[in-house]
Amino acid sequence: MVNPPASPADSQHTFDTPDTREFLGYWNSLPKFGLIPSRRDFDPAEVKHLLPKIVIHQVISAEMVKVRLAGTEVVFGYGRDITGENYLDFVAPERRAQAFRSIELLHTQPCGMKVRLIKTRRSGVAFLNETVALPMRNDAGVANLVYYVSADVFTPHLTDATTDHLERIGVDHRAFIDIGAGIPDFPC
């Protein structure tokens, strides 16, 4: 378990899961250029127990946020591997622009984001999830990656996640995390 020194970002928020708190602490410990670390400095071995809960997005355009990697617990939650898919396809059409803007702000502000989600399966079973999203630079130094840790606060018993797919994701609460550039003016 990584326990870097506390930072301003750690003290701004309370977290419902130790995994999201730990991930933010690890991210805070990475060297940064313009407030954002490089994926070269991210060592999966340092947070190997969190890898099943990690999702990596690549921001390509306002219409495409590509899922570059989805950990095994995330895949189980969706009921299938979503690697290579457009994350925005899982967002209701009327919320797509707002969802993209919240992700884009992680690089343009820059900042982090804590989101409490209500995830609903095809059967109607819903569960609460806490996700922390933080910006990352690609190998060329471009800030277009977002690293997430997604941890369930409450998970109902599922009889078969392969047929009871995740159908809807709703935002219960969103808060931005000041990583040194302030908090964006964005409706949470």
| Tens digit of each residue's pLDDT (9 = 90 or more) over 68-127 | 999 998 888 787 899 999 999 888 888 899 999 999 999 999 999 999 877 777 787 777
Task: Answer with the residue of higher pLDDT: 130 or 46.
Answer: 46
User: In which element (H, E) is residue 11 found?
Assistant: helix 8-12
pLDDT, residue 90, reads 84
- Rounded to the nearest 10°, the torsion over CA 20, 21, 26, 32 is 90
- The pLDDT score that the predictor gives to residue 163 is 64
Q: How confident is the model at residue 3 (pLDDT cuts 50, 70, 90)?
A: very low
Domains and CATH numbers, the chain: 14-177 (3.30.450.20)
Residue 67 has pLDDT above 90, yes or no: yes
Q: How confident is the model at residue 136 (pLDDT cuts 50, 70, 90)?
A: very high
What percent of the chain lies above the pLDDT cut of 70? 84
Q: Is pLDDT above 50 for 35?
A: yes
pLDDT (0 to 100) of residue 159: 55
112: phi then psi, degrees, rounded to nearest 5? -110, 175
- The pTM (predicted TM-score) of the whole model is 0.84
What is the rounded CA–CA span in Å between residue 15 and residue 188?
Answer: 17
pLDDT band at 6 (very low <50, low <70, confident <90, very high): very low
Nearest to residue 143, comparing CAs of 64, 23, 26, 37?
A: 37
| Number of residues written out for the chain | 188
H-type alpha helices, 42-172: 72-78, 96-108
Over residues 136-157, the mean pLDDT reads 88
Asked whether 136 and 145 are in contact (CB, 8 A), the reply is yes
Query: Residue 153 above 60 pLDDT?
Result: yes
Cβ atoms of residues 23 and 50 within 8 Å: yes
Q: Per-residue pLDDT averaged across 5-23, rounded? A: 65
Q: Name the region of 54 (left: φ>0; alpha: ψ -120 to 50; beta: rest).
A: beta
Dist CA 67 CA 56 (whole Å):
6
CA distance 102 to 5: 28
